Structure formats: C-alpha cells, structure tokens
C-alpha cells in the first residue's frame, strides 16, 4: 500500500509579501540586510505562502542583477560613465521595492526591470 503525500494548500498572506519586498530597503540601512532578509523569508515560507516562491525568485534575480550592474558600473567609474550608472542603480534599488510592495498589497503582480533570470 503506497502512501501518497498530502498536498498542503498554500495560504495567502499579502502582508508578508509586502514585507518581503520592503525588506530589500535594509540595504540602505545595514548595507547587506536587503539580500539576507528576503532570502531567509523566501526560503522559509515558499512552501507555505501563495506566490512567495515566484516573488522570492524575482527579488533574488533582481538583487543579483543589480549587484552585477553595480560591479560593472564600479569599474566604469574610472571612465566617469560609471558614476551615472551607480546613481541609476541606487534609485532603481530604492524605488522598485516600494512600487512592488504597493502592487502586491493591491493584488497586482510585481515587476523588477533589468533582471536577469538566474533562478528559475
């Protein structure tokens, strides 16, 4: 007799999803928390909260992409062009988590521009 696993129904928790997006802003306070906190929330709650897996992957892809762009811009600072890139990255990293937190709280899908899909 084979025992089939019981599939848990995922619950909706828009407040936790909003917190997931806003936790990225910890980068501006601690310098590193904006990567660690969303990663921990995503890994611990992706099997419990509806949309947590998809949105967690989107955030991680965004954070990794922005890190790569920042490294490239940092190198290009020697040519002065990189300063504009670093400013643009800073603005994007500050504005889009807020926009997406608002979208999630209103039941819309989040969107992160310039994201490379590393985690599928």
53: Cβ–Cβ under 8 A, 6 or more apart, which residues?
42, 46, 47
Q: Is the model's pLDDT at 11 over the cut of 80?
A: no
> 2: pLDDT confidence band, cut at 50, 70 and 90?
low
* CA torsion, ordered 109, 107, 66, 47, to nearest 10 deg: -90
- Tens-place pLDDT, residues 20-52: 999 999 989 988 888 999 999 999 999 888 889
Residue that wins the pLDDT comparison between 12 and 21? 21
- Rounded to whole angstroms, the maximal C-alpha distance in the chain is 69
- Tens-place pLDDT, residues 43-93: 999 988 888 999 999 999 999 999 999 999 999 998 888 999 999 999 999
């Amino acid at each position: 007799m084979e025992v089939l696993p019981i599939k848990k129904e995922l619950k909706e928790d828009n407040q936790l999803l909003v917190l997931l997006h806003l936790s990225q802003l910890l980068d501006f306070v601690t310098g590193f928390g904006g990567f660690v906190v969303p990663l921990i929330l995503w890994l611990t709650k992706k099997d419990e909260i509806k949309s947590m897996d998809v949105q967690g992957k989107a955030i991680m892809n965004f954070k990794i992409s922005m890190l790569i762009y920042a490294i490239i811009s940092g190198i290009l600072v020697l040519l002065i062009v990189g300063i504009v890139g670093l400013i643009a990255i800073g603005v994007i990293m500050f504005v889009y988590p807020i926009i997406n937190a608002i979208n999630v709280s209103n039941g819309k899908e989040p969107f992160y521009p310039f994201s490379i899909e590393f985690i599928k």
